[in-house]
Amino acid sequence: MTNVSVDRRTLLRLAGASAGTTVLAGSVLAGQPARAASAAFRHGLASGDPLPDGILLWTRVTPVPEAVPGSGAGPTVQVSWQVAADPDFTAVVAAGAVTTGPDRDHTVKVEVSGLSPATTYWYRFGYGDDWSGTGRTMTSPPLDAAIDRLRMGVVSCANWEAGYFAAYRHLAARGDLNLVVFLGDYIYEYGTGQFDAGGTVVRPVQPTNETLTLADYRIRHGLYKTDPDLQALHASLPWVITWDDHEVANDAWSGGAENHTPGAEGDYATRAAAAHQAYFEWMPVRMGEGGRIYRRVRFGRLAELSMLDLRTYRSKQASGTAVDDPARTITGDDQLSWLKDGLVNSGAQWRLVGNPVMIARVDVGALPAWLLGPLGKLLGIPENGAALNVDQWDGYNADRNELVDHLRAHGTRDVVFLTGDIHTSWANELTTRATGEQNPAAAEFVVPSVTSDNVNDFLHLPAGNPLSVAGASLLRVTNPHVRWTELDGHGYGVFDVTPTRCRMDWYHLVDRTKRDTGTRWVAGWSVGAGSARIRQESAQVS
C-alpha cells in the first residue's frame, strides 16, 4: 500500500458518518435496517472480516416453506446481491448473483472486492421479487493510514436458553462503533434444560436434543439467527469472529470433548466436522487453507487484530505436573509461531489478540470451598481444589511461557488480549512465575457472557451478593496481576483504541431474562502506549 495519512475529518467524510462522530467511521442506521426483511430472508444478513478493498457478506434464503434449516429440502436457487454507497441504493457500486441450495443449507456467502478503503457501504440480497433488509458495513483503512481512533463492541458466550440477547441490541443502538469482535460460544450445543439460566429455561432451544449431527448444528445456528437483537447487530456492523468450545462441545480439544461420549454419541471427528461445516455455512467468517480460522485483520497503522483458534489444535486437558509439559499445546506449533511472529513484526502500533480463553494466571488454591464450587464450573477446576484452570492457558504453561518470553526477548510492547469464555469480567496484567508481578508482558481484558451462567447464578443468589463480592476480592488478593474482577454481571465490553492508549469499558445488563432490559456502566480500565500496566478509569464519556 502507498503511505497514506488519513485524518479523522477525511475518514468521516469517506464513511458518511455524522459530524459528532469521533471514531474511524461512526455508525449510521445502527440497528435500523432501511427495509423490512421478507419471508425469504428471515434469518437476516451479516458482514465480516473487513479489508481495505473488500468485505465478506452473508445471508440465508428460504425459497420454499419446507426449506427450513437442517431439512435438506428445497431447490437450488440463485440469489442476487448489491452493494451501494447509499442506503437507498441509488449508487450501486458492486452487484452479482450466487447459487445456493440444500447442500449448503441455503446459506449465501459473497466475497466483495474492488471497494474503497475506510468507507461505509450498504448491502442487500434479492430472490425473485423479494429483497432482504438492508445491512450496513464498512471497509478497513489502507494498511499505512494514520488512524485517530478505533472502537469496537466485544462479546462472547450467548446461551439461548439463559436469556435474551439484549447486549446485542444495546451495542447496535450505540452508533459509535466500527466493528464487533466475537470471542467464542456463539451457540451452545446442549439440549433444552441442560445449560439454562440458574435453573430456569427462559426460551427453549431447537433442536431440543444436544446437537450431534450436521442437521442439528444447522437447526441451532438457524434458531440463533432468528433473534431480532442478533440480527440488528449483524446488520449494523461488520463482525470479526472466532469460535471456542460450545460451537462443537464443551471443553473441546483436538481429539474429543468433555461433553462428547464416544460410542453413544458417535465418532468425535465426525461430530466436529459437522459442527465446523455448519459454522462456516452460517457465519460471516473466512475459512483459510485446511479449514483454518485463525487470521488477522488490520486497521491502518493503529491496530492489528489476531484472532486465535484454541480448540482445533490443542492437546487434551491435563492436571498436575502435566500442565508444564512442553510437548502439550493449546495453540499448536504452527499457530503459536504465527502468533509470535505476527506480534513481534506487526506494522501496527497496537497488537490485539482475540483470545477465546483466559491467558492470565489464576491461582485458586487459597480460595474457600464455597467459591471453588461455582468457579470450578466456570474455570474447569477439579473438585480437589487444584490451583490451575486446566482448560485455559493455565493448563498449557509451556505455550504461555514461550509466548511471553518471545515478547520480552524482542522488546515487544502494546500487546492487548481480548478474552471471553468465563462469563465474568476481568482486567489483568499478563505475567508468568518467571517474570514476576512487577514486569507484565501484556494487558488482558475479559468480557462477561451475553447470557451464560456465572457465579451468582450457580450460587442461586442475586447479582452483587456478599459472597460474589468477597470472592472477587479474594481472587485479587491471591492474584496481584488480576487488577479487577466482577463475577456476576452479564453484558458486553466496548474497547476503544487511540495512539496513546487502549481502554475497555464493561457494561452489564439489569436482567438477562428480559428482552427490554436496560444496561449500566460498571468499570473502565486502560493501558497506555509503551506499557503493560493497566489503570482504572472513571465512567466513559463517548
Reported as a single tens digit per residue, the pLDDT across 277-311 is: 999 999 999 999 999 999 999 999 999 999 999 99
The confidence band for 7, taking pLDDT boundaries of 50, 70 and 90, is very low
Provide, rounded to the nearest whole percent, the portion of the chain with pLDDT above 70: 88
The answer, yes or no, to whether residue 54 has pLDDT greater than 80, is yes
Angle at 479 between CA 506 and CA 493, to 5 degrees: 10
| DSSP assigned state of 84 | E
Helices (H) and strands (E) in the chain, counts: 10, 22
What pLDDT does residue 329 have? 98
> Could you give the CA distance from residue 528 to residue 532 in angstroms, rounded to a whole number?
7
The confidence band for 38, taking pLDDT boundaries of 50, 70 and 90, is confident
Lowest mean pLDDT, pick from 127-136, 216-225, 367-376, 511-520: 367-376
Distance of CA 13 to the CA centre of its chain: 29
> Could you give the CA distance from residue 123 to residue 268 in angstroms, rounded to a whole number?
38
Q: Using alpha carbons, select from 123, 81, 82, 122 the residue that is nearest to residue 100.
A: 81
What pLDDT does residue 267 have? 96
The answer, yes or no, to whether residue 126 has pLDDT greater than 50, is yes
Mean per-residue pLDDT for 255-280?
97
Q: What is the mean pLDDT of the chain?
A: 89
Cα end-to-end span (Å), the chain: 32
> Could you give the CA distance from residue 245 to residue 239 in angstroms, rounded to a whole number?
19
The answer, yes or no, to whether residue 339 has pLDDT greater than 70, is yes
Grid cell of 254 as nine digits: 483436538
> Could you give the CA distance from residue 462 to residue 158 in angstroms, rounded to a whole number?
20
**Per-residue pLDDT tens over the stretch 382-404:** 433 344 579 999 999 999 999 99
**Per-residue pLDDT tens over the stretch 430-476:** 998 777 777 899 999 999 999 999 888 887 888 888 888 888 898 89
The answer, yes or no, to whether residue 512 has pLDDT greater than 80, is yes
Q: Report which of residues 381 and 110 the model is more confident about.
A: 110
Provide, rounded to the nearest whole percent, the portion of the chain with pLDDT above 90: 78
**Per-residue pLDDT tens over the stretch 347-360:** 999 999 999 999 99
Q: Using alpha carbons, select from 281, 296, 349 the residue that is nearest to residue 51.
A: 296
pTM of this prediction?
Answer: 0.91
What pLDDT does residue 197 have? 75
**Per-residue pLDDT tens over the stretch 181-237:** 999 999 999 999 998 777 899 999 999 999 999 999 999 999 999 999 999 999 999
What pLDDT does residue 19 have? 27
What pLDDT does residue 376 have? 65
Domains of the chain, with CATH numbers?
31-141 (2.60.40.380), 150-537 (3.60.21.70)
What pLDDT does residue 75 have? 98
Strand, coil or helix: 330: coil
